[in-house]
């Protein structure tokens, strides 16, 4: 008898649970879009050095004088590449007028004297009318600031996960969720009015900080009001909001191309979530564990009325509640810390392996989706395709987990996409369609890896320390996402280095999975001793499977002699 049985008595999956997840899902779509918002707000438009006081030049053709257009005139001032497009960061020291009437390119003009842009840049504003890159000239020597701003945002997500995760255990899921909605709405909206790059980064840090609070407490408020048998499917439904968020972001960015207006469009609606979040009842499970049974009973009765089970709700008393939660209350009396994740040999093996798996998954996932402009597609179309591929990949990986086991699936969704990224790194640029296809498949598999490792981690850790283990693993994932944008800067030293890093890093943790136990159809462990016992049982079973073959060999030899 547990809290899940009590939820079943007041409706289980009733009207309240569906309203609850719908409201959380709507806000999750808005919040999820902020994770990859910089694909559009920090997009890099085509650009070249700005030429002040452009001279009007006429030339004679077939006896008639005509004015040279600006694109032709640029050849005298800006080196052109092999595709006959102006390079982005160089200009000639002196105008090269002879190049106007030739097919001069960077290849045959490298001997000419060039210098960095002296008067700023001119941006092509067809695909992006305004981004932080074009507004603050984050190109050429300043291009690393674009990646730095995303790292600062991810740092906010990491700090928020550490601070708000512990605060939610102290002050409640609902309180921290309401605050996080408000902070994200204010910080996100204020970002649109940033007067400088430094202010922009500070506000993005606050937004990332709030995003962690929303995600952590949304998951808790969703699952802690759901019976155990339905948590997997409801958890999967909630995670689908991140796939939808990427599609909504692409559509919104296509309609609203200015980065400030886009920032407002995806931040102001969060105020709506802040308003209706006051309706959410606090987790009755958290209230009971924090010695607030009276408030827990009030919330349980509210849920029972919404589910049409008011009579059953009225029958629940403090004694009934404590009786259902007796085991959980007893477990909560023992204090467990991160150090207990390394307490025994098996726990150390599990924790170290999961550290690399979580970090590598997040690292490579964000490394792929944060630079969509390098693919031979419109960035808007690329965003939609990269989002839609998650649906078949997650479905296929779910079937693999059910029939082939957690361990095999986890190895596959780490090592296969890692290999695809490595292959992609060495393909020539002429095969852009192939490179884009491989990148899309790899991204879908990395998204599946997130789903797999979340379930696998919850099954590997015992009940008494499961939340601590999940929180620790989540922190490592934030470290991965935080460092992913910084690796893009390595392309200045070796163009293939980012691809090699994004490909190799997940393959190595894939090898660590071999050391993890299989958890398919295995009862969840409650204590650290249970984990050790399960490992010994698995080792014993492995030895037992070998013995019949050995005995058979001995029998055959005895007969022969």
Domain ranges of the chain: 1-33+134-333, 47-124, 336-532
Q: How many CB atoms lie within 10 A of CB 350?
A: 24
* 90 phi and psi angles, rounded to 5 deg: -130, 155
Q: Determine the angle formed by the axes of helices 173-191 and 15-35, rounding to 10 degrees.
A: 40
Would you say 249 and 36 are in contact if contact means Cβ atoms under 8 Å apart? Answer: yes
Residue 172 contacts by C-beta under 8 Å, 6 or more apart in sequence?
Answer: 282, 283, 286, 287, 290
DSSP letter, residue 256: -
DSSP letter, residue 517: P
Residue 558: band (very low, low, confident or very high) from pLDDT cuts 50, 70, 90: very low
Region 500-505 average pLDDT:
89
Label the pairing between strands 90-92 and 114-116: antiparallel
Residue 151 pLDDT exceeds 80: yes
Selection from 137, 66, 133, 53 nearest residue 95 by Cα: 53
- Listed in sequence order, the DSSP H helices in 75-196 are 132-136, 144-171, 173-191
88-102, 316-330, 544-558: segment of lowest average pLDDT: 544-558
Residue 105: band (very low, low, confident or very high) from pLDDT cuts 50, 70, 90: very low
Which tens digits make up the pLDDT trace of 206-241? 999 999 888 888 877 877 778 777 766 777 777 788
Rg (CA), the chain: 29
| 143-150 contacts, C-beta under 8 A, 24 or more apart | 143/44, 144/489, 145/197, 146/38, 146/42, 146/44, 147/485, 147/486, 147/488, 147/489, 148/201, 148/485, 148/486, 149/38, 149/42, 149/197, 149/200, 149/201, 149/204, 150/38, 150/42, 150/370, 150/485
Distance CA 16, CA 22 (A): 10
C-alpha of 248 from chain center: 16
Residue 549 pLDDT exceeds 50: no
Two tokens at 162? 């550490």
1-33+134-333 and 336-532, same CATH topology: yes
Q: How far apart are the first and last CA of the chain?
A: 62
C-alpha of 54 from chain center: 46
Residue 63 pLDDT exceeds 60: no
pTM exceeds cut of 0.95: no
Rank 341-345, 403-407, 411-415, 514-518 by mean pLDDT and report only the highest: 411-415
Would you say 475 and 161 are in contact if contact means Cβ atoms under 8 Å apart? Answer: yes
Q: How many CB atoms lie within 10 A of CB 344?
A: 15
Q: What is the CATH number assigned to the segment(s) 336-532? A: 1.20.1250.20
Residue 147 pLDDT exceeds 70: yes
Q: How many CB atoms lie within 10 A of CB 400?
A: 18
Distance CA 332, CA 431 (A): 57
Percent of residues, the chain, with pLDDT higher than 90: 18
CATH class, 1-33+134-333 region: mainly alpha
Which run of H or of E encompasses 92? Answer: strand 90-92
């Amino acid at each position: 008898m547990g809290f899940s049985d009590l939820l079943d008595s007041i409706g289980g999956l009733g009207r309240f649970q569906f309203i609850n997840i719908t409201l959380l899902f709507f806000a999750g779509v808005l919040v999820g879009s902020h994770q990859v918002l910089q694909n559009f707000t920090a997009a890099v438009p085509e650009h070249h050095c700005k030429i002040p006081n452009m001279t009007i030049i006429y030339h004679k053709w077939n006896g008639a004088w005509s004015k040279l257009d600006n694109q032709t005139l640029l050849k005298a001032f800006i080196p052109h590449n092999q595709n006959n497009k102006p390079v982005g960061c160089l200009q000639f020291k002196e105008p090269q007028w002879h190049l106007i009437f030739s097919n001069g390119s960077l290849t045959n003009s490298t001997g000419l004297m060039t210098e960095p842009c002296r008067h700023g840049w001119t941006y092509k504003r067809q695909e992006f009318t305004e981004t932080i890159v074009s507004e603050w000239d984050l190109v050429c020597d300043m291009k690393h600031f674009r990646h730095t701003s995303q790292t600062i945002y991810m740092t906010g997500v990491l700090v928020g996960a550490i601070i708000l995760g512990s605060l939610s255990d102290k002050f409640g899921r609902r309180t921290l969720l309401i605050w996080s909605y408000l902070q994200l709405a204010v910080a996100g909206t204020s970002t649109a009015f940033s007067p400088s790059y430094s202010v922009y980064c500070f506000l993005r840090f606050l937004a990332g900080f709030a995003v962690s609070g929303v995600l952590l407490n949304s998951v808790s408020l969703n699952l802690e009001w759901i019976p155990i048998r339905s948590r997997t499917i409801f958890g999967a439904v909630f995670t689908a909001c991140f796939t939808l968020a990427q599609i909504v972001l692409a559509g919104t960015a296509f309609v609203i191309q200015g980065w400030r207006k886009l920032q407002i469009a995806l931040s102001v609606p969060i105020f709506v979530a802040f308003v209706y979040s006051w309706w959410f009842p606090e987790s009755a499970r958290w209230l009971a564990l924090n010695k607030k049974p009276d408030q827990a009973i009030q919330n349980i009765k509210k849920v029972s009325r919404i589910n049409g089970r008011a009579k059953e709700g009225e029958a629940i008393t403090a004694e009934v509640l404590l009786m259902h939660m007796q085991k959980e209350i007893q477990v909560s009396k023992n204090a467990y810390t991160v150090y207990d994740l390394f307490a025994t040999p098996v726990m150390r093996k599990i924790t170290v392996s999961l550290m690399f798996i979580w970090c590598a998954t997040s690292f490579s996932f964000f490394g792929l989706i944060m630079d969509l402009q390098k693919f031979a597609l419109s960035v808007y179309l690329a965003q939609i395709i990269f989002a839609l591929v998650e649906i078949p990949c997650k479905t296929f990986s779910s079937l693999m987990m059910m029939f082939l086991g957690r361990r095999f699936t986890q190895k596959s969704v780490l090592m296969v996409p890692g290999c695809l990224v490595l292959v992609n790194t060495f393909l020539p640029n002429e095969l852009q369609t192939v490179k884009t296809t491989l990148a899309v498949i790899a991204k879908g598999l990395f998204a599946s890896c997130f789903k797999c490792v979340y379930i696998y981690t919850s099954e590997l850790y015992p009940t008494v320390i499961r939340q601590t283990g999940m929180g620790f693993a989540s922190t490592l994932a934030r470290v991965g996402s935080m460092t992913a944008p910084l690796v893009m800067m390595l392309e200045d030293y070796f163009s293939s280095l980012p691809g090699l890093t994004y490909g190799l890093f997940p393959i190595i943790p894939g090898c660590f999975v071999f050391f993890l136990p299989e958890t398919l159809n295995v009862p969840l462990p409650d204590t650290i001793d249970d984990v050790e016992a399960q490992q010994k049982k698995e080792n014993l079973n492995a030895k037992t499977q070998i013995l019949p073959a050995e005995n058979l060999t001995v029998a055959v030899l005895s007969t022969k002699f």
